[in-house]
Structure 1
Amino acid sequence: MTDSAYRVIFGAVAKGITTTIYVSCIAYLSSVIFGLIIGLMRLSPSRLLRESSSLYTEVVRGVPMLVILYYIAFVGAPGLIQAVNWLISPLINAGMIGELSVRNLNFVWRAILALTIGYSAFISEIFRAGIESIDKGQMEAAKAVGMTRGQAMRHVILPQAIRNVLPPLCNDFVAMIKDSALVSALGVQDITQLGKVYAASTFKFFETYNVVAFLYLIMTISLSLMVRGLENHLNRNKSHNR
């Protein structure tokens, strides 16, 4: 196959890079925020918070990501819209606003929501492990100088824990880039979906998926090298501080 033919395929498939990066970045940032909240709940003095967050983590981690994607897209999203309509029903009945439709939540945002739910369970465990790696004496020392548990966590524990969890968090972003290909199952126009459409219309499956794989490799290898550099930098700083 000629180089010009590969360039045509690349041009058709590469249009999905923007969608892939957009979905991955929004879902990842949401996962980090939600994962931090769940991780803190896992360490809460409240038994209710600990047990509920533990149940959430175990259930979500035990379900395949593709199943979560389908569930959120076709069950969770319609249910969410119905719940919102019920909450705002007085405004709807008064004619102040219109009733929301499932179409108001497109498949891109359903995919982002599903990836957020799936990855937040894994990221919460990273945060939990990072916080638990900090010497417990630091929490006691912070309380001894008059800090509350929340203040000690915010000003003393979390800054140190975040340094420890940065490399695994970055590795999860690499995994998010790869798992974002699952959104093609909903017809979202990412790299994989555009590759499927092009291959089906031209029957150039081998060449098309070569290009798709190449694009993912470029993104993931570049990110992996950055993560390795970050790990080396953090390790050097730790050795200097000793």
Structure 2
Amino acid sequence: MNRFPAKAAGSTALITGATAGLGAEFARQLAEQGHNVVLVARDAARLQSGAQELERLYSIRAEVIAADLADDDGVAAAVARLTDPARPVEILVNNAGIGLLHPFAENAIAEEKRHLKLHVETAMELTHAALQGMLARRSGRIITVSSVAAFLPRGTYSAAKAWLLSFCRWANLAYAGSGVIVTVVCPGLTHTEFHDRMGMDKTVAPRWMWLQAERVVREALADNERGKAVSIPSWRYKVLTSAARILPARLVAGPPRRAR
């Protein structure tokens, strides 16, 4: 039996980065469970198309917020929706993210600052906003997508994801007693648009390392419902992250990213 049963269908979930990849899959699976959804991403046309499809398939309500969450105005739009007392959000999925193909010293510092803001500052701000209503209701679920990179020395991407891992582990400990479950999801390499947008050559990693988005999300939602602080989908990555904690950094850093 789950320690923290899922909120009844008909509640509302807000998902960032919801037009593709893990975000789109979170939206699909939550809608399939009967939750209404608020989809947040930059591409208004893809948002509308995705919302219409979810409403057609699952007979739920789907709202859209076209916003760049690396921009203060975009974050403010999401915060306004999360803190609207007339339309409570019971589930928040912090999924929006970007990757940088080149090493730190080769990237423009503006790119690095945007990268850090989206992964860390935005996730922190949206979590803070969602907590206000959830703590008052003594009920809520927050899922934040990190990465197995959080356990590895892989530049500023790993550093940002490690922040999310540490923050969410603490938040689950701090707020579970008040009815709010915070889970950080640390998937390995997953077939989505993420690496394609980076321009990364995906053949640098063997085929066995790649996961499907459906599995990652299914395991993440189940772990969150059980009250787990950390979700690492698949046994292969559970083993790899355990090994990363004890092996020398030079052995677990992995190959450098390579452009297509």
TM-score by length of 2: 0.25
Higher relative contact order (CA 8 A, sep 6+): 1
Higher strand share: 2
